[in-house]
Amino acid sequence: MVHHVVGDIERIRYDQEGSCVIWRDAELPGYCRHPDIDCRHNVIIAGHEPKIADLRHGIANMMNQVFSDPAFSRFAKKLLIGMWECQTSNVSFLEDGTYHAEGDLVDIGRGMHASGVWSMGRNQIVLLDSKRTGGIRTQLVEIDARHLTFHGREDFLFQKYKRK
């Protein structure tokens, strides 16, 4: 069982606006991913400790597992069309399946191209370069007519966008 996480959990914020997260201790369910363990000595292998920076992906993934409606991706795909902005970047998803982004592209995901093609399935947005030779996929955490939320960056859990 993991008893610690590398990093200061009190420093992590809910979003890029600095909203605080209220933490409480809880037992992890058995299906949670375990860190790499040296079975001979029952210790975590050095360099494979759970890290605060990885927490945001795990939380976004767990939130997406609660969506049991297979029609959610079709619903979200319709809402996604348009321009979205946050303090440091903006992205436009067009009906023809292309996208254009400006600013700090790491807001959405490391390795994202400034333009290309997009698709959606299983609560994930796939963003490929124009030649479809590379790209990223990122979890869509929440969407409505005015707000779009992805998992966050290093020091916060979620990256929030507003419709422009």
Question: What is the CATH classification number for the domain harbouring 131?
Answer: 2.40.128.290
Q: Structural domain tally of the chain?
A: 1
Instruction: Note down the domain range covering 67.
Output: 1-164
Percent of the chain with pLDDT over 70: 59
pLDDT in tens, 2-25: 445 556 666 667 667 777 777 677
The dihedral formed by the CA atoms of 26, 14, 155 and 52, expressed in degrees to the nearest 10 = 10
**CA distance between the termini of the chain:** 45
Compute the distance between CA of residue 103 and CA of residue 77 in angstroms, rounded to an integer: 23
pLDDT in tens, 20-75: 777 677 666 665 555 555 555 556 566 666 666 666 666 666 666 665 566 778 88
Does residue 87 contact residue 16 with C-beta atoms inside 8 Å? yes
